[in-house]
């Protein structure tokens, strides 16, 4: 059907009625609710954003724990908390990666941390969970940020530190990397060593001095070895005294024998031809008695001298009391002589064995040796046949 009035379009048309609040009340309420939700969502996003922003530290690292705390205390963030916490889990993963990289850099630049990590890195395999817990506790005690230590994957950190070390070596060039520097002294001997510079990068502080106590240990070893140089001179009087005592036989020495021997020696000196007719007189015994006395006195003097330092009357008296002499029973004197010889031999073995550990470990080795040996074993060569 054709338009009845083609010119109608040229006339002004009445204005269409604008949609008002009353035109569609249901749609209006829905729009208001949507607007409110949008506003709440925007406020929540802003609050969550502020919490996240406050969780970024001065060093630029994100702390998810601080973000959690910020969301918890902000009422506006409650609307978006579930989604935000879901994001925090993602950030937690990223934070682990950041902490791992940060700790790896710290292991390269922090000597204390590098020294702690070096034994673990030298294992050449991924650390077990238990090893990681141990290392984390040690790194925290070394002053590394606990949050970083807690979040970091230590296997990744060690790998990053090794990569940084390798990069440093490559940067310095092969010639500089091979430059010899002072290394750790040889264990035991304490002899100085040299290592290439590349091996010291990322390994923390280098131990170039000798361990504590080395000087004392070395001095003790030298003194003991000097004494062993005189072993023959020390042991001869003891063995000679033992031989003389055994030659004297039962009752050869003891209380009163000194006067008798002096009397017999006097007679033998002034009238040897007459003395031989006296009952019980034996010139050989006079000789053995005097030799015994001479050698035990010599041995006692050497014992006193071996004590070193300034001697006192009390020290000498103690040495005399503890040494065999002609005033004690012959049976006791023989046992004491044998014990002295055995102990001296044990001391010699101890010195020579401990000296093999070198000056650094001499005292430690000597102290260990003494506890593992039975002095009675050194008496065996001097025991009488059963």
Partner 1 sequence: MPSALTSLGGAPPAPNPVPQPPAQPQASALAGGAPQAPPSQLQIPPAPDHQQTVAALRHFDAIENALVALLKDPAVGKSDLRSSAIDQMTKLVARGIMTPATAVTQLSDFPDKPFDQKMWLQGHLQQTIQGATMVLAHHQAAFAGQDVDTTPPSPDDHQNAISGLISMYKGNGQNA
Q: Could you say which of 15, 129, 372, 384 contacts partner 1 (CB under 8 A)?
A: 129
CB nearer to partner 1: pick between 133 and 266:
133
1 binds partner 1 (CB under 8 A): no
In the region spanning residues 77 to 96, those forming contacts with partner 1, defined by CB under 8 A, are 82, 85, 89, 92
The span from the CA of 87 to the CA of 101, in Å, is: 21
The span from the CA of 271 to the CA of 311, in Å, is: 43
Helix count (H) and strand count (E) of the chain?
A: 15, 2
Measured from the CB of residue 43, what is the shortest distance to partner 1 in angstroms? 20
- Angstrom distances, CA of residue 50 to CA of 39, 74, 83, 212: 16, 10, 15, 55
CB nearer to partner 1: pick between 55 and 341:
55
What is the CB neighbour count within 10 angstroms for residue 237?
A: 20
CB nearer to partner 1: pick between 58 and 82:
82
Site string for partner 1, 57-76 (x = CB under 8 A): -------xx--x--------
Measured from the CB of residue 94, what is the shortest distance to partner 1 in angstroms? 14
* Backbone CA torsion sign across 167, 173, 178, 183: negative
CB nearer to partner 1: pick between 149 and 333:
149
The span from the CA of 324 to the CA of 73, in Å, is: 89
Measured from the CB of residue 216, what is the shortest distance to partner 1 in angstroms? 21
* Backbone CA torsion sign across 103, 105, 108, 110: negative
In the region spanning residues 133 to 162, those forming contacts with partner 1, defined by CB under 8 A, are 133-134, 136-138, 140-143, 146-147, 149-151
Which residue is it, tokens 């033992």? 242
Which three-class secondary structure state does DSSP give residue 181? strand
Which window, 48-56, 128-136, 179-187, 305-313, contacts partner 1 (CB under 8 A)? 128-136
Number of residues lying near partner 1 (CB under 8 A)? 24
Measured from the CB of residue 90, what is the shortest distance to partner 1 in angstroms? 11
Measured from the CB of residue 141, what is the shortest distance to partner 1 in angstroms? 5
The DSSP string of 208-274 is -SPPTTHHHHHHHHHHHHHHHHTHHHHHHHHHHHHHHHHHH-TTSSSTTHHHHHHHHHHHHHH-HHH
Measured from the CB of residue 328, what is the shortest distance to partner 1 in angstroms? 52
Residues that bind partner 1 (CB under 8 A): 64-65, 68, 82, 85, 89, 92, 129-131, 133-134, 136-138, 140-143, 146-147, 149-151
């Amino acid at each position: 059907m054709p338009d009845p009035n083609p010119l109608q379009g040229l006339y002004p048309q009445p204005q269409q009625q604008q949609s008002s609040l009353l035109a569609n009340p249901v749609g209006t309420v829905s729009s208001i609710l949507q607007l409110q939700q949008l506003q709440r969502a925007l406020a929540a996003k802003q609050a969550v954003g502020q919490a996240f922003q406050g969780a970024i530290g001065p060093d630029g690292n994100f702390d998810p724990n601080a973000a959690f705390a910020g969301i918890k205390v902000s009422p506006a963030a409650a609307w978006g908390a579930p989604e935000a916490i879901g994001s925090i889990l993602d950030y937690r993963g990223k934070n682990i990666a950041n902490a791992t990289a940060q700790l790896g850099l710290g292991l390269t630049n922090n000597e204390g941390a590098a020294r702690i990590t070096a034994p673990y890195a030298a294992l050449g395999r991924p650390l077990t969970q238990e090893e990681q817990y141990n290392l984390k506790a040690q790194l925290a005690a070394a002053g590394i940020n606990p949050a970083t230590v807690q979040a970091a994957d230590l296997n990744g950190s060690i790998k990053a530190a090794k990569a940084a070390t390798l990069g440093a070596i490559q940067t310095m060039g092969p010639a500089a990397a091979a430059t010899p520097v002072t290394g750790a002294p040889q264990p035991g001997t304490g002899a100085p060593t040299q290592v290439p510079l590349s091996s010291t990068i990322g390994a923390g502080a280098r131990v170039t001095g000798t361990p504590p106590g080395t000087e004392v240990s070395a001095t003790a070893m030298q003194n003991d070895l000097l004494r062993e140089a005189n072993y023959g001179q020390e042991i001869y009087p003891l063995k000679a005294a033992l031989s003389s005592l055994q030659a004297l036989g039962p009752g050869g020495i003891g209380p009163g024998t000194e006067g008798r021997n002096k009397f017999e020696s006097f007679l033998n000196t002034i009238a040897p031809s007459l003395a031989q007719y006296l009952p019980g007189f034996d010139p050989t015994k006079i000789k053995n008695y005097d030799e015994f006395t001479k050698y035990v006195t010599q041995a006692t003097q050497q014992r006193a001298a071996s004590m070193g330092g300034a001697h006192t009357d009390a020290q000498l008296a103690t040495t005399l009391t503890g040494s065999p002499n002609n005033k004690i029973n012959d049976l006791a004197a023989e046992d004491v002589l044998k014990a002295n010889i055995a102990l001296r031999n044990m001391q010699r073995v101890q010195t020579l064995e401990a000296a093999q550990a070198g000056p650094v470990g001499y005292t430690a080795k000597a102290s260990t040796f003494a506890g593992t040996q039975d002095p009675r074993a050194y008496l065996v060569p001097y025991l009488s046949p059963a």
